[in-house]
């Protein structure tokens, strides 16, 4: 056999990994389903399941019982089709072009209609069952309640009539205001189901659940409201290996722009994790990696593919040893001032291939 033979070489094991705890993911869906009361519970699976990987997460959510799957883009649909029925998929951005409508009709995936123009585009090609987003105050996508009497909307075959809460993660009067607007709007157009709540909305109570809830972040271990802290488990675990150990002496600096300088001799480890993996610079100084309960403070700036940690507390670790990267989202968000959503969705593609 020569190297020209067409056999793909097997990739050697990586030096960092993202582990998705499928049991925790299923647990979180079930906990949110229980909190949703008599409403059925879907799953927001946009952005490759918030960075954790569609192929791992969607079958787990489907097997747990998720009824509907929400993506933002039409380009996200193909990755879902091997796992769920087309009618279970809703595309939140709706049809922006005739090609989007053609794709929806050919695949059986349902659009969320967000404007009169989108409704027109859908109806022109024959349309069929769709979902309809009403804007009740977030002012991103959706038809205005006052537009609901418009003929093209009245002629739609609306399965799920939806709206989206702007401030569900806070105690904000806007929640009640949006609820009232949504209830009133629901009387103005025929529909089969109503849906208002994201993860945080589910924690606002039964009034907000209607027929279908749409959790996202809490499925993946985010805790957008304290009420959810007791039932939501961490899903994403991050580990990275030490790829070199070195000894510094007083005056030696570490990393770009020499932001850390040793004031005495110290042993440090270079770890295979960087901002290209989603370990942002905001998580650098003050952040710690862990090894068997010991803390390893990050030194200096986070590089694209590496960070350097202080091994003072862990004289036993050496090249090839694995470190845990604390990734309980509420704590990581507080430590870095990066939102729980962003911490997940910036996770690098490189980590997911492990
Ligand atoms: C992303 C999204 C959700 C899920 O929101 P979380 O805050 O992640 O639970 C639900 N509905 C819509 C319309 C969304 O865009």
Mean pLDDT in residue range 286-304? 96
Sign of CA dihedral 174, 175, 179, 182: positive
Check if 185 has its Cβ closer than 6 Å to any atom of ligand 1.
Answer: no
**pLDDT reading at 3 higher than 90:** no
Q: Quick check: 133 and 164 in contact, CB under 8 A?
A: yes
Q: Please indicate if the annotation marks 140 as binding a ligand.
A: yes
Split at pLDDT 50, 70, 90, the class of 284 is confident
What residues does each domain of the chain span?
21-228, 236-326
pLDDT digits 0-9 by tens, 269-278: 999 999 999 9
Give the three-class secondary structure for 311: coil
Read off the pLDDT of residues 19-41 as tens digits, 9 standing for 90 and up.
999 999 999 999 999 999 999 99
CB 79 within 8 A of CB 44: no
Q: Is 237 a catalytic residue?
A: no
Ligand 1 centroid, distance to 43 Cα (angstroms): 9
Phi, psi of 190, deg, nearest 5:
-70, 145
Residue in this structure with the two tokens 């005056």, named with its chain if needed: 251
In angstroms, the CA 240 to CA 224 distance is 27
Provide the pLDDT for residue 66.
98
Question: What is the predicted pLDDT for the residue at 354?
Answer: 55
| Cβ contact 35:218 at 8 Å | no
- CA dihedral sign of residues 169, 335, 322, 253: positive
The answer to whether the CB of 91 is under 6 A from ligand 1 is no
Q: Collapsing DSSP states into helix, strand and coil, what is residue 122?
A: helix
Helix (H) or strand (E) holding 233: none
Report the pLDDT averaged over residues 122-145.
97
Of 7-11, 225-229, 297-301, least confident by mean pLDDT is: 7-11
pLDDT at 8: 84
- Say which of 206, 220, 237, 256 is annotated catalytic: 256
**Residue 215 Cα to ligand 1 middle (Å):** 6
Q: Is 304 annotated as contributing to ligand binding?
A: yes
Candidate from 69, 70, 134, 204 with most ligand 1 atoms within 8 A of CB, to mutate? 70
CATH no. for 21-228: 3.20.20.10
- Classified as helix, coil or strand, 313 is coil
Q: What is the mean pLDDT of residues 187-207?
A: 98
Residue 4: alpha-carbon gap to chain centroid: 41
Q: Transcribe 194-226 into DSSP letters.
A: EE---HHHHTT-GGGTTTEE---TTTTT--SSG
78 half-sphere exposure, CB direction, 13 A CA radius: 2
Whether residue 153 is predicted with pLDDT greater than 60 in this model: the reply is: yes
- Which tens digits make up the pLDDT trace of 248-267? 999 999 999 999 999 999 99
Full DSSP string of 112-170: EE-SHHHHHHHHHTT--EEEEEB-SSS-SSSB-GGGGGSHHHHTSEEEEEE---SSTTS
Active site residue 256: yes
CATH level 3 topology of 236-326: Lyase, Ornithine Decarboxylase; Chain A, domain 1 (2.40.37)
Tokens of 327: 């990734």
Give the tens place of pLDDT for each residue, 45-81.
999 999 999 999 999 999 999 999 999 999 999 999 9
Looking at 46, 50, 208, 301, which residue is catalytic? 46
**Predicted local distance difference test score (pLDDT) of residue 80:** 98
In tens, the pLDDT along 99-121 reads: 999 999 999 999 999 999 999 99
What value does the mean pLDDT of the chain take? 96
pLDDT > 90: what percent of the chain?
A: 92
Cα 214 to averaged position of ligand 1 atoms, centre (Å): 6
The protein residue whose alpha carbon is closest to atom 6 in ligand 1 is 216
Whole-number pLDDT of residue 2: 54
Task: Give the residue-averaged pLDDT of 243-248.
Answer: 98
Determine whether the shortest distance from the Cβ of 222 to ligand 1 is under 6 A: no
Instruction: Give the sheet arrangement for strand 110-113, strand by strand.
Output: 40-41, 212-213, 193-195, 157-162, 129-133, 110-113, 89-91, 69-71, 43-44
Give this prediction's pTM.
0.95
197 lines ligand 1 (CB under 6 A): no
**pLDDT-derived band at 285, boundaries 50, 70, 90:** confident
93 pocket-lining for ligand 1 (C-beta < 6 Å)? no
Task: Answer whether 23's CB lies under 8 Å from 45's CB.
Answer: no
Residue 94 Cβ contacting ligand 1 at under 6 Å: no
């Amino acid at each position: 056999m020569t190297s020209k033979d067409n056999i793909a070489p097997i990739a050697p094991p990586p030096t960092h990994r993202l582990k998705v705890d499928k049991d925790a993911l299923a647990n979180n869906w079930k906990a949110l389903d229980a909190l949703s009361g008599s409403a059925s519970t879907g799953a927001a699976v946009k952005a490759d399941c918030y960075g954790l990987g569609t192929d791992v997460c969607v079958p787990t959510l489907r097997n747990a019982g998720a009824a509907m799957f929400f993506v933002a883009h039409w380009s996200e649909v193909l990755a879902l089709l091997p796992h769920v029925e087309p009618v279970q998929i809703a595309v939140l951005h709706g049809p922006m072009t005739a090609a989007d409508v053609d794709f929806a009709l050919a695949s059986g995936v349902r659009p969320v209609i967000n404007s009169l123009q989108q409704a027109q585009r859908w109806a022109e090609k024959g349309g069929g069952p769709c979902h309809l987003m009403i804007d009740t105050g977030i002012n991103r996508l959706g038809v205005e309640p006052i537009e609901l009497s418009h003929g093209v909307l009245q002629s739609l075959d609306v399965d799920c009539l939806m709206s989206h809460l702007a401030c569900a993660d806070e105690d904000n009067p806007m929640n009640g205001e949006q609820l009232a607007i949504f209830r009133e709007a629901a009387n103005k157009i025929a529909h089969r189901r109503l849906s208002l709540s994201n993860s945080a909305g589910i924690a606002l109570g039964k009034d907000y659940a209607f027929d279908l809830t749409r959790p996202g972040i809490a499925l993946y271990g985010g805790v957008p409201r304290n009420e959810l802290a007791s039932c939501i488990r961490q899903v994403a675990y991050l580990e990275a290996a030490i790829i070199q150990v070195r000894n510094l002496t007083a005056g030696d600096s570490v990393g770009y722009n020499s932001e850390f300088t040793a004031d005495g001799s110290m042993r440090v480890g270079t770890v295979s994790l960087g901002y290209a993996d989603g370990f942002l610079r905001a998580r650098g100084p003050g952040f710690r990696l862990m090894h068997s309960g010991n803390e390893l403070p990050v030194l200096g700036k986070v590089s694209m593919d590496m960070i350097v940690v202080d091994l003072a507390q862990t004289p036993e670790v050496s090249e090839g040893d694995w470190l845990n990267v604390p990734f309980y989202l509420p704590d990581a968000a507080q430590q870095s001032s990066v939102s729980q959503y962003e911490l997940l969705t910036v996770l690098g593609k490189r980590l997911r291939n492990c």
